[in-house]
A = this chain, B = another copy of it.
């Protein structure tokens, strides 16, 4: 059990401190609404500077584990806020977090002329004419959950095959491993719609049933829009959760 900071460790000190403090909170050593040691006490306890302490605490605050009150102290958040908020996740990660086994059935994978709506969302320059269209039925524990249509603006020369997708499952894992593309942010809109006959068939619900429509634009770490993706979720099998902060 390492509960001291090792200056020779590969990991930065503030990150080691985050790990130590998180462990104590999750082990219940400090109860919700109880004060943890002050920043100056943590300085002494772990032999780091106050800047480093504040870097660690700042991360814990953004993760929802603790909160600070000016002039009073640093406190452990109630359990409900300790649970990690929804971050930017792929469908697969999302399903795993919900305790369901993610699956997919690929309906189409093709290079297509980019529709105008997609051109705008991906901010395509005029010289880019085509994008990759990927349509899949996504499942959780084998049951249809959503109908997903992706439009991808991959870097020149990059390709994507059915085999890769079937083998690896997650598209984002392929982008990361093969092309070193990391996702940094996404803008998402949600609205209500009703199932067309085709959608109803694929999702195994009656036509006209209410669905949740999600539209996402995904941005790389270089803030290039790389994907526009729609997911039609079965209204009875999907709840969307998000944490808002001020």
Residues of A within 8 A of B (CB): 33, 51, 64, 67, 69, 75, 77-78, 80-81, 85-88, 123, 182-194, 210-212, 217, 219, 221-225, 235, 238-246
Contact = CB atoms under 8 A, between A and B. Distances in A.
Interface of A is mostly: strand
A225 B33 CA distance: 12
A217 B80 contact: yes
A48 to B, nearest CB: 16
Contact of A223 (B67, B182, B246): B67
Contacts of A88: 244-246
Contacts of A80: 123, 187, 217, 225
B245 A185 contact: yes
A219 B81 contact: yes
B81 A245 contact: no
A71 B186 CA distance: 24
A93 to B, nearest CB: 11
Contacts of A246: 87-88, 182-185
A229 to B, nearest CB: 13
A212 B190 CA distance: 9
A19 to B, nearest CB: 19
A67 B210 contact: no
A67 to B, nearest CB: 5
